Structure 1
Amino acid sequence: MFPYRILRQTHLAKQFILLSLLCYGVTHAAEQQNPAQLIDEDKPQTLITLPEAYLYMGSEIGINHYQHGCESWSIDCDKNSTMASFFAGYQFNHHLAFEVAYIDLGKAEATYLEASKQNIYQGSMRGLNLSSVASIDFGADLALFAKAGVFNWHGENKGPFSTIKADDWSPSFGVGMTYQLSDSWQARLQYEYFHHLGNDDIGGTNAHATSLGISYQFGRSRPEVITSTVINSVTNTVIKATPIELEEVTFPVLFNFDSSELFFVDSLQIIINRLIQFPQATVILRGYSDSQGSSEYNLALSKRRTDSITQYLTEHGVKPQQIIAEHYGEQYPVTDKISEQHKHLNRRVQVLLPQTIIQPQQEQR
């Protein structure tokens, strides 16, 4: 890298604050599927719907190698370092995502003999990486991906007599694999290459980082599981079937600040499927807001949010009498923390699909 110098490490708190700047209001119309009624003799069936578009956030740690970390006349050189990063992104569909990562490539150190004295030079490299990620599935849980982007690096050389700083943009490339641990948790192993970091002032290098990470995918948890079992018991003239139990399901629909406009409608398809297939079923919509603004305004805003979901459901075939709407304004917050990262969790409509027992009709032979 930079001949015999590198950059200073950044506090983890500063790294995390930069990640919170990621705008999460991106929309994507995912392909919707209309699941058929799953009923088979003597076999329990499960209806599974996982959204195709979602936000994710995670962290990773690994090893970085600075390709040109020292000059040839160094008497001691350590080009390897521990690297770490926080990342967040938006998955548009199964194959394409956009990702932002704040990366600390770690510290390197070199020793030089100058005027009969051994002097130590240190430095580190860090910055914000913007990249597009393309992936392809291999089986139900395993996927391979490739990424390309730009790295806004910030460098600092620190020696016994001076400290030099510089920053610029460089291209970055990566490949790796992911493994789905559960509906919402994903592990990944990746290699990233950063081309020509540094400049004439602090020197130049290429960086090779290999890391292991884990991420949480918001809104990708399995929103509905309907288990139904029909056992046919044949008597003289009547076929009897056991009741179908629809389990209770609850999940939030989030909104932007001071907005009632719907962005993520994938999860609403679950409500539509249940209420159209089972006219006896109902849904309860409970609207909320954050604490910014007056209580009266926030109460009205929470009502507008439930109204926007009600309108979407009725436009897609749900009967108005199946919908119960309530609004509470800034009451009952999910979290009392005041950071912007936590406030958006209170800008929501909590959807509740109550447990319902469907009594099947008996059929005469």
Structure 2
Amino acid sequence: MEEQMLYYRIVRNLNLTKQLTLLTFLCFGSAQAAEQSHHLEHDKSQTLSTLPESYFYLGGEIGINYYQHGCESWSISCDKNSTMSGFFAGYQLNNNLALEAAYLDLGKAEATYLEASNKHIYQGSMTGINLSAVGSIDLTADLSLFAKAGLFNWYGENKGPFSTIKADDWSPSLGVGMSYQLSDSWQARLQYEYFHHLGDDNIGGSNAHTTSIGISYQFGRTRPVIITNTVTNTVTKIVMESAPIELEEVTFPVLFDFDSSKLISADSLQMIVNRLTKYPQATVLLRGYSDSQGSSDYNLALSKRRTDSITEYLVTQGVQQQQITVEYYGEQYPAVDNITEQHRHLNRRVQVLLPKTTIQPLKDHQ
């Protein structure tokens, strides 16, 4: 009689820790998927490459379970519903077929029976490995329908007030559902599964009906990469087409101290640097001079040192040597007479000339 009263197929409910673990996993996966999701823009001149057809995936699920024959008719109370959860892993063979293995905990249910004027509570639990083949068809680029069939290797326990009975065996399983591609590698799914005749004569038997939501991560699966339709054997360079640039003529002196070729200030040379580094076609002409004090040969060498000083500075700032032309004249061609010290200072100079230049646009051909 006691064994007959045990004839209900019930399964173990998740404890609080397991529920929190599964919910945390699902929330984390959804957050990651939302961060990665993006929309692909389509263009007539472009096509999408093919997704990888085979890859591994790993995920978790949580849902509710209902036992069709959970309790006997003479039970005082009976809870046939339970919370179920599981983890699954699979290998997608191609776009339409996958092989999957899942560890499932179908939850806990409870029934109360009156025995010898006493109320006794019986609890059952069942876990197991479900091996199945999954076939799918695509409805859209992200939405798919799937069906699955397999075998569930179950392990059950039936606990009463005086004893615990255990059993294990195989039962067939069927399922249907839909999946939605959240992002590059994350997929969500909603599914229903049916497990036929779980349990045996010792612990009781029942059919199980589960409805669950799940999320999985697909290893090695990426969104399509946009590629161009046109195949070319050569790389076409960018052709710059713009109007010619006119650089105006600029001239100014750079003054030096008596008997010195040291630059007093380089600020005035920045305009030269900017122009010549931006436009490699531009040039500069440096003409060196001195005052009339000292011998002509010495003054000629001094004027050369002054142009060399400016040349060295420009080169350190990135100006190319071939952009610079140098001339030096010593005390010849004074700007003013050499009678006063102020006049002689104005003659200790290098005259800078930035010629008027037309910069033609660069045109690179295929």
TM-score (norm 1): 0.53
Matching residue's letter, 1:104: D
In structure 2, how many angstroms separate the alpha carbons of the residues matched to 1:242 and 1:167? 75
Q: Find the counterpart in structure 2 of residue 362 from structure 1.
A: 365
The answer on whether the counterparts of 2:60 and 2:214 sit within 8 Å (CA) in structure 1 is yes
Q: Is the 8 A contact 1:63 1:209 kept in 2?
A: yes
| Match status 1:191 vs 2:192 | yes
> Quick check: 2:152–2:173 contact (8 Å CA) kept in 1?
yes
Distance 2:229 2:237 in 1: 15
How big is each residue's C-alpha offset from its partner over 1:68-115, in whole Å with a ceiling of 9 and x where there is no partner? 110100000000000001000000111000000000000000000111
Q: C-alpha separation between the residues in 2 aligned to 1:158 and 1:9? A: 13
Maintained 8 Å contact 2:14/2:107: no
1:179-206, Cα deviation, whole Å (9 max, x unpaired): 1111211110000000000000001100
Shift of 1:3: 2.2
- Structure 1 residue 148: deviation in Å? 0.3
Deviation at 1:162, TM superposition (A): 0.6
Rounded Cα–Cα distance in structure 2 between residues aligned with 1:219 and 1:47: 17
1:67 aligns with 2:71: no
* C-alpha distance in structure 2 between counterparts of 1:158 and 1:242, whole Å: 82
Task: Tell me which amino acid in the other structure corresponds to 1:128.
Answer: I
* Residues 21-51 of structure 1: per-residue CA shift (max 9 Å, x gap): xxxxxxxxxxxxxxxxxxx9xx885764521
Aligned mates of 1:180, 1:150 — CA distance in 2: 27
| 1:3 aligned residue | 7
Alignment of 1:320-331 (within 5 A): none
The 5 Å alignment of 1:257-296 reads none
Structure 2 residue 100 is the aligned partner of structure 1 residue 103: no
CA distance in 2, matches of 1:50, 1:190: 24
The percent of aligned pairs where both chains have the same amino acid is: 73
Match of 1:169 in 2: 170
- Structure 1 residue 124 displacement after superposition: 1.1
Indicate how the Cα distance of structure 1 residues 47 and 56 shifts in structure 2: closer, same or farther if over 3 A, else same: same
The code of the aligned residue for 2:210 comes to A
Q: Distance in 2 between matches of 1:97 and 1:62?
A: 22
The number of equivalent residue pairs is: 211
1:215 aligns with 2:219: no
Match of 2:142 in 1: 141
User: Map of 1:1-365 to 2, 5 A cutoff?
Assistant: 3-4=7-8, 6-8=10-12, 48-222=49-223, 241=238, 362-363=365-366
SS of the equivalent of 1:220 reads coil
Q: Secondary structure at the match of 1:129?
A: strand
Q: How many Å apart are 1:222 and its aligned residue?
A: 3.9
Structure 1 CA distance for aligned equivalents of residues 128 and 365 of structure 2: 67
3-state SS of the aligned residue for 2:195?
strand
Measure the CA separation in 2 of the matches of 1:76 and 1:131.
35
Q: Distance in 1 between matches of 2:239 and 2:198?
A: 68
- Larger relative helix fraction: 2
Distance 1:64 1:152 in 2: 17
SS at match of 1:72: coil
SS class of match (2:52) = coil
Unaligned runs of 5+ in 1: 17-39, 230-238, 244-359
Match of 1:273 in 2: none
SS class of match (1:140): coil
3-state SS of 1:3 partner? coil
User: For residues 2 and 105 of structure 1, do their structure 2 counterparts lie closer, same or farther at Cα, with a shift above 3 Å needed?
Assistant: farther
User: 1:5–1:121: 8 Å Cα contact kept in structure 2?
Assistant: no
Moved over 3 A (4+): 4-13, 43-49, 222-229, 239-243
Q: Which residue of structure 2 lines up, in the alignment, with residue 236 of structure 1?
A: none
Counterpart Cα distance in 2 of 1:193 and 1:147: 10
Distance 1:52 1:361, change over 3 A: farther
Q: Counterparts of 1:49 and 1:242 in 2: how far apart (Å)?
A: 33
Q: 1:228 to 1:145 in 2, by over 3 A?
A: closer
Whichever residue aligns with residue 123 of structure 2, its letter is Q
Tell me the distance in 2 between the aligned counterparts of 1:70 and 1:47: 55
CA contact (8 A) 1:64 1:83 kept: yes
Distance of 1:67 and 1:240 partners within structure 2: 71
Deviations 1:305-333 (A, max 9, x none): xxxxxxxxxxxxxxxxxxxxxxxxxxxxx
CA distances 1:278-327 after superposition (whole Å, capped 9, x unpaired) = xxxxxxxxxxxxxxxxxxxxxxxxxxxxxxxxxxxxxxxxxxxxxxxxxx
Native 8 Å contact 1:70 1:77 kept in 2: yes
SS in 1 for 2:53: coil
Counterparts of 1:221 and 1:50, CA distance in 2: 7
TM-score scaled by structure 2? 0.52
Tell me, yes or no, if the aligned pair for 2:89 and 2:100 is still in contact at 8 Å.
yes
Shift of 1:362: 1.8
